[in-house]
């Protein structure tokens, strides 16, 4: 059972998991000439989202956090996006076979794929890869031939690597002097015609978007457990000269999954510092 805790309806309400986030219609939220950028994480009570696995040499979501009910909502958020914003690290993991999952929307979620068609969205979201060095395995690019792929990189990135990626149909866009800058990324997404962008990268990219003042919404699943701080990562990395306020939009208790689902609007009260990846 899922119960809405906020806004308080004045009575207990049992809500279905399926459609909990889909009904938000995030692809219609942005006004003309704007883009809605949103993120999503599953975390422990002490705010940890991943743990380093020495066997795979990757940061991974531990089994104590990962669960099918949260994963369903992860897919619902993806279903509402024009583009998925991720990192080159994911593509290196994909090429080496150590990536935990393929990019959403997963093919087991046929109802969400049908919903996208009903909403006149493309069958799958496009993909925007953030990479300062353009170290992106071409084998991984070939695995996603059904999607339009964009790469946002630095102004000084290798012209040879740019040209090679473009031969694979990738659109390479400069978005910063020495690294990808949050404000220029947002401008680039708007120029590409995107209205909804789902950030599914790690805490470093998350920190960059927040510091630049371009993240609009954050969804957070909190599992009722602790991870501790040894070899773990939190929700955001990097300095924040002007931390934003998080305005709670909705809060749900998932009794079956022993977790909370929260929806926050990110509110910037002053000019935020531009961070680089």
Residue 202's alpha-carbon distances to 90, 123, 145, 156, in angstroms, are 9, 25, 24, 24
Instruction: Report the alpha-carbon distance of residue 58 to residue 203 in Å, rounded.
Output: 14
DSSP H helices in 180-255: 182-191, 203-211
Task: Give the start-to-end residue ranges of the domains of the chain.
Answer: 2-6+13-267
Whether 119 has a pLDDT exceeding 50, the answer reads yes
Q: Residues for the chain: how many in total?
A: 277
Cis peptide before 105 (omega within 30 of 0): yes
What CATH superfamily classification does 2-6+13-267 receive? Answer: Dihydrofolate Reductase, subunit A (3.40.430.10)
Instruction: Report the alpha-carbon distance of residue 141 to residue 90 in Å, rounded.
Output: 11
pLDDT class of 52 with cuts at 50, 70, 90: confident
CB atoms within 10 A of CB 250: 16
* Average of per-residue pLDDT across 136-140: 93
Instruction: Report the alpha-carbon distance of residue 35 to residue 32 in Å, rounded.
Output: 8
* Average of per-residue pLDDT across 230-254: 89
Q: Give the pLDDT of residue 263.
A: 98
Instruction: Report the alpha-carbon distance of residue 223 to residue 46 in Å, rounded.
Output: 10
Query: What phi, psi does 183 have (nearest 5°)?
Result: -65, -40
* Average of per-residue pLDDT across 88-117: 91
Whether 51 has a pLDDT exceeding 60, the answer reads yes
Reduced to 3 states, what is the DSSP secondary structure of residue 258? coil
Those residues whose C-beta lies under 8 Å from the C-beta of residue 25, and which sit 6 or more positions away, are 80
Lowest-pLDDT choice from 61-65, 67-71, 147-151, 227-231 = 227-231
Whether 97 has a pLDDT exceeding 90, the answer reads no
Percentage of the chain surpassing pLDDT 90? Answer: 76
Instruction: Report the alpha-carbon distance of residue 46 to residue 224 in Å, rounded.
Output: 9
Per-residue pLDDT tens for 148-163?
999 999 999 999 999 9
pLDDT class of 273 with cuts at 50, 70, 90: very low
């Amino acid at each position: 059972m899922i119960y809405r805790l906020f806004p308080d309806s004045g009575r207990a309400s049992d809500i279905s998991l399926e459609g909990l986030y889909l009904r938000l219609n995030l692809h219609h939220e942005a006004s003309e000439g704007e883009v809605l950028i949103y993120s999503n994480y599953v975390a422990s009570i002490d705010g940890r989202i991943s743990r380093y696995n020495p066997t795979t040499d990757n940061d991974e979501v531990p089994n104590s956090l990962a669960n099918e009910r949260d994963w369903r909502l992860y897919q619902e958020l993806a279903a509402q996006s024009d583009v998925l914003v991720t990192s080159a690290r994911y593509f290196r993991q994909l090429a080496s076979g150590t990536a935990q999952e393929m990019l959403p929307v997963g093919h087991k979620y046929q109802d969400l794929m049908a919903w996208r068609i009903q909403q006149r969205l493309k069958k799958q979201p496009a993909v925007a890869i953030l990479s300062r060095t353009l170290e992106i395995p071409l084998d991984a690019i070939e695995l996603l031939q059904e999607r339009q792929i964009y790469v946002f990189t630095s102004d000084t990135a290798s012209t040879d690597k740019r040209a090679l990626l473009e031969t694979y149909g990738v659109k390479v866009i400069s978005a910063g002097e020495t690294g990808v800058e949050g404000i220029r990324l947002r401008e680039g997404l708007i120029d590409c015609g995107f209205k909804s962008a789902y950030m599914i990268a790690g805490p470093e990219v998350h920190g960059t978007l927040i510091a630049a003042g371009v993240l609009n919404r954050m969804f957070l699943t909190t599992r009722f457990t602790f991870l501790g701080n040894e070899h773990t990562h939190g929700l955001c990395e990097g300095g924040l000269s002007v931390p934003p306020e998080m305005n709670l939009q909705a809060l749900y208790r998932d009794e079956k999954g022993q977790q909370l689902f929260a929806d926050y609007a990110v509110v910037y009260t002053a000019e935020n510092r531009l961070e680089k990846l």
